[in-house]
């Protein structure tokens, strides 16, 4: 059942929390996505079947949460996730981040190193405001304050604001050592045209952790939502938990 975190002076945040054995699995959706996507629901069903604790959430301006999407930035969504995590969960955490959620999971792990004991990235997209926008796009964002881009994997259009771009540029990670020491698993489709597989390799090299595995999925696209992709996600999360 969807509930809401009330925060004085800030948008209410929608969430679904499941009691169970730890570590608590926290699913972090991608840019403009919400907690009702196929990967989030598949993992939640697995958590229910295995008695695992799990938190799903909507960032401000997304899904059922309050707020205006175009007025939010990466920092805001990181802080939203931290507010929900700090208020609703206790003990160790395993973060699962999809696309931009993979960037947020890294930022959250840096903020809460004492609690985060494992990470699973699904087409993780850290620094996409840097490698994902060419000079023409940056110039348009500077001039107009936003840009609309058609998604490569469906017919929808996403809006990126100058405020979001600035927030992303202030949180770049890939060109230095990422101070994360917990085990990390990175799932990435070889046919991902949104986040190149090379980003998974760059991320693996940048992480300080000695326990990083990159799993490449043949014919997998950016969404990684086919039945076999979802099965791999659940298997990866289960194996990582068992190894901790």
Beta carbons of 243 and 183 less than 8 angstroms apart: yes
Of 65, 98, 99, 167, which one is the catalytic site residue?
99
Q: Which of 27, 24, 91, 35 is nearest to 233 (CA)?
A: 27
3-state SS, one letter per residue, for 180-233: CCCCEEEEEECCCCCCCHHHHHHHHHHECCCCEEEEEECCCCCCCCCHHHHHHH
Rounded to 5 degrees, what angle do the CA atoms 200, 16, 215 make?
20
Q: Which of 44, 58, 192, 229 is catalytic?
A: 192
Quickly count: other Cβ atoms within 10 Å of residue 114's Cβ: 6
Q: Which of 65, 79, 188, 222 is catalytic?
A: 222
For the question of residue 99 being annotated catalytic, the response is yes
CA distance 98 to 31: 9
Residues known to be catalytic: 99, 192, 222
């Amino acid at each position: 059942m969807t509930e809401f975190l009330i925060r004085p002076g800030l948008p209410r945040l929608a969430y679904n929390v499941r009691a169970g054995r730890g570590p608590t699995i926290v699913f972090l959706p991608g840019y403009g996505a919400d907690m009702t996507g196929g990967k989030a629901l598949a993992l939640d069903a697995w958590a229910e079947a295995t008695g695992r604790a799990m938190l799903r959430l909507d960032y401000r301006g997304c899904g059922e949460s309050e707020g205006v999407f175009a007025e939010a930035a990466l920092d805001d969504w990181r802080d939203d996730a931290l507010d929900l995590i700090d208020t609703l969960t206790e003990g160790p955490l395993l973060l699962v981040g999809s696309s931009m959620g993979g960037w947020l999971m890294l930022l959250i792990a840096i903020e809460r190193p004492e609690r985060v004991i494992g990470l699973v990235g699904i087409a993780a997209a850290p620094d996409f405001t840097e490698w994902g926008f060419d000079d023409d796009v940056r110039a348009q964002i500077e001039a107009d304050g936003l840009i609309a881009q058609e998604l490569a994997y469906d017919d929808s259009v996403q809006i990126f604001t100058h405020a979001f771009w600035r927030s992303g540029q202030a949180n770049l990670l890939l060109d230095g050592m990422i101070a994360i020491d917990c085990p990390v698993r990175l799932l990435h489709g070889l046919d991902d045209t949104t986040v190149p597989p090379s980003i998974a390799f760059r991320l693996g090299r940048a992480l300080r952790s000695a326990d990083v595995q990159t799993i490449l999925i043949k014919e997998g696209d950016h969404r990684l939502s086919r039945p076999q992709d979802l099965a791999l996600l659940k298997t990866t999360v289960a194996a990582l938990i068992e190894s901790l």
